[in-house]
Structure 1
Amino acid sequence: MDRERVTEWVAAYERAWRTPGTDPLATIFTADASYLQGPYRQPVLGLPAIARMWEAEREGPDEAFRMTSEVVAVDGDTAVVRAEVHYGEPTNQEFRDLWILRFADDGRCRAFEEWPFWPPNAGNTSQE
């Protein structure tokens, strides 16, 4: 992997989040991928389980949000990305996130690990 390919993958991830259904997930995750939503959470294992989690977590593909991201590092098949997401118009929820991504040879993610952080006193209890 290189920075350009990781940047393209992140753009595909955002497009998939904005697309109805979960079919695009197969283009960005391997069939046996793991998705860890936080450092102390149980990993979601396999594409069908990731698809169920994906639908449960988002309001829908027309959800108002804006996301910015920066590739922090790439080493072999592993990348670190810093993302910032603002939900709502106007923003009613925001967080910063570090992603550790491990890629298969075909460029799809085989392991997604995120470390989300919310502003102090945001009232978000999703961090575990």
Structure 2
Amino acid sequence: MDTNTVERWVAGYERAWRTPGTEPLAELFSPDVSYLPSPWAHPIVGLSRLGPWWDAERDGPDEPFTIMSEVVAVEGDTAVVRIEVDYLGDDPARWRDLWILRFDTDGRCVGFEEWPFTPDQPDGH
């Protein structure tokens, strides 16, 4: 795994979010993926469970948003990516995330861990 490969994977994730249906997920995630949408959530295990969750989480493939990403680190089969997403629809939202990604030898994600932050969330002070 290297930075360019991770950048292409993130671009594929964005394309999948903007594509109707969930078929593109099979190119991105292994069949037994463990997808953790926040550090407090229960993981979504398996591509067959990820698809319905994915569709329920978005407003549809034409949902207006911008996304920027920066690969922070890559070591072995693991990458850390900083993500900035601005949803521009009727209910605008701004998110800054860290993704921790583990990949198999085919370049598909076997472990996805998201640490999402929004400006409205308490900072603990």
Q: Tell me, which stretches of 5 or more residues in structure 1 are unaligned?
A: 123-128
> What is the alpha-carbon distance in structure 2 between the residues aligned to residue 55 and residue 68 of structure 1?
21
Are residue 79 (structure 1) and residue 45 (structure 2) matched?
A: no
> What is the alpha-carbon distance in structure 1 between the residues aligned to residue 73 and residue 25 of structure 2?
23
> What is the alpha-carbon distance in structure 1 between the residues aligned to residue 121 and residue 101 of structure 2?
29
> What is the alpha-carbon distance in structure 2 between the residues aligned to residue 69 and residue 91 of structure 1?
22
The corresponding residue for 2:37 is 37
Structure 1 residue runs of 4 or more that deviate by more than 6 Å after TM superposition: none
Measured on the aligned residues, the alpha-carbon RMSD in Å equals: 1.5
Report the Cα offset of residue 40 of structure 1: 1.1
Query: 1:100 is paired with a residue of what secondary structure?
Result: strand
Q: Give the aligned residue type for 1:109.
A: C
The corresponding residue for 1:20 is 20
> What is the alpha-carbon distance in structure 2 between the residues aligned to residue 44 and residue 51 of structure 1?
10
The corresponding residue for 2:5 is 5
Superimposed CA distance per residue, residues 33-74 of structure 1 (whole angstroms, 9 cap, x where no aligned partner): 010011011000000100011001000000000000000000
Superimposed CA distance per residue, residues 18-37 of structure 1 (whole angstroms, 9 cap, x where no aligned partner): 00000000000000001001
User: 1:1-128 to 2 correspondence within 5 Å?
Assistant: 1-88=1-88, 92-120=92-120
> Aligned residues: percent identity?
59
Q: Tell me, which stretches of 5 or more residues in structure 2 are unaligned?
A: none
- 1:121–1:71 CA distance, 2 compared to 1 (3 A): closer
Report the Cα offset of residue 120 of structure 1: 2.9
Q: Give the aligned residue type for 1:103.
A: F
